[in-house]
């Protein structure tokens, strides 16, 4: 059974950077789509960034495009999210997730398709 463990969250001031990591145990990332979602208090969990199993294409929410970069190291079964120029509205609990399929611009954003989730890592950005 796959387990996902996120790390790298913390508290930063606006304009700062953080790099999140997510290590998958019990599952190779090859042929899996991976994504980062986030959830702020009182809000729905939303898609942030994803890497498709098909050609490794990357997709981003409009709110983070140009500031966040998703990457993965299949040999280490690790997924990363580099977050630059952080804003207070980026404050949330960040989750990584794995899915079989979810290879298109639409499907990769659908949280219902993800079969494994981490416990989340908190990111807090102060103004």
Query: What residue ranges in the chain does DSSP mark as E strands?
Result: 3-7, 10-13, 18-25, 33-39, 46-51, 58-60, 68-73, 78-83, 92-99, 116-117, 121-126
36: which 2 tokens? 């980062």
Residue 27, pLDDT > 90, answer: no
- pLDDT > 90: what percent of the chain? 88
Q: pLDDT band at residue 8, thresholds of 50, 70 and 90?
A: very high
**Which pLDDT value is given to residue 106?**
92
Is residue 59 predicted with pLDDT exceeding 90? yes
Is the pLDDT at 45 greater than 90, yes or no? yes
pLDDT at 10: 98
- Answer whether 13's CB lies under 8 Å from 114's CB: no
pLDDT of 28 strictly over 90: no
């Amino acid at each position: 059974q796959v387990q996902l463990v996120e790390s790298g969250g913390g508290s930063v001031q606006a304009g700062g950077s953080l790099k999140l990591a997510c290590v998958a145990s019990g599952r190779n990332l090859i042929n899996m789509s991976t994504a980062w979602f986030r959830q702020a208090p009182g809000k729905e969990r939303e898609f942030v960034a994803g890497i498709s199993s098909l050609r490794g294409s990357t997709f981003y929410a409009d709110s983070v495009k140009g500031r966040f970069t998703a990457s993965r190291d299949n040999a280490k079964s690790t997924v990363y999210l580099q977050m630059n120029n952080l804003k207070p509205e980026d404050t949330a609990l960040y989750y990584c997730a794995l899915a079989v399929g979810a290879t298109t611009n639409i499907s990769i954003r659908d949280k219902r398709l993800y079969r494994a989730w981490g416990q989340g890592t908190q990111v807090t950005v102060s103004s």
